[in-house]
Amino acid sequence: MREPVRPGSSEKMTGGLLRRFAGHTTGCGQRYTKKYNFRCPDLKELRKLTSFVLDPLDFKQRHGKLLSILSADVVEGLLSVSVQFYDPLYRCFTFLDYQLVPTLEEYGHILGIPISNKVPFSGLEEIPRFDIIVEALHLKKSEIEAHWVKKGGLFGLTSEFLIKEATAFAQAGSVDAFEAIFVLLIYGLALFPNIDGLLMLTPLEFT
């Protein structure tokens, strides 16, 4: 949702942006800038798995532009500036004369994944049952039980274990099994990182 800038307000808007960028609220002189810490997971091992994707165009048809996520560089300075304009109450970027809200359709376009037939993911879903995980990741139940861990009060599988399994499937020529784990790793480590080294499996049914 974008609200248009009113005519003749560009100078006023620019001044407002500069004041907020400088770290002050408009007109009151109080300090406004907030400091945020951004999670920047180490994707080196995950990026190595891209060498097992033999046909990137075929992969793109099935999983959209997920591979491009791994080659994108995160510029923390830009994030730090952008987040100063984010309003957590209304969940949008608020400027002096308009609000900017990235839509699900825009996210879908960026990732190359149509969302019209997808079930929305809220993050409040329950952990999938082991039989669902077994079917989705092509792993044995005993393997999942052996590597099921709890960190920070959350349950999941370690990225080290999943990267190892994805590598084994790729070397064995099991494309479906490799891609199932590889895509989950991209979602869990690159797009929605939470706890270092742990992949929560709540988005499993949505990948």
In a domain, 76, yes or no: yes
Judge whether 61 lies within some domain: yes
Domain count, the chain: 1
Is residue 5 domain-resident?
no
Q: In what order do the strands lie in the sheet containing 86-87?
A: 86-87, 92-94, 99-100
Distance CA 187, CA 81 (A): 25
pLDDT computed for residue 9 by the predictor? 39
- The pLDDT, as a whole number, for residue 98 is 80
Q: Could you tell me if residue 2 is inside a domain? A: no
**Which amino acid belongs to residue 44?**
K
Q: What is the pLDDT of residue 149?
A: 93
How confident is the model at residue 24, as a pLDDT? 38
Query: Which domain covers residue 145, as residue numbers?
Result: 10-206
Residues 33, 39, 40: CA angle, nearest 5 degrees: 120
Report the predicted TM-score, pTM, of the whole model to 2 decimal places: 0.74
What is the chain's pLDDT, residue by residue, as a tens digit (207 residues)?
444 434 443 333 333 333 333 343 444 444 456 666 777 778 999 999 999 999 999 999 999 999 998 988 777 778 778 888 888 888 888 887 888 887 878 888 888 887 767 666 666 667 888 999 999 999 999 999 999 999 888 899 999 999 999 999 999 999 999 999 999 999 889 888 888 888 888 766 555
What pLDDT is recorded for position 3?
42
DSSP for the chain, please give it: -BPPPPTT-HHHHHHHHHHHHTTB-TTT--B------------HHHHHGGGG-S-HHHHHHHHTTHHHHHHPPP-HHHHHHHGGGEETTTTEEE-SS-EE---HHHHHHHHT---TTSPPP-S-PPPPPHHHHHHHHT--HHHHHHHEEEETTEEEEEHHHHHHHHHHHHHTT-HHHHHHHHHHHIIIIIIS--STTEE--GGGGG-
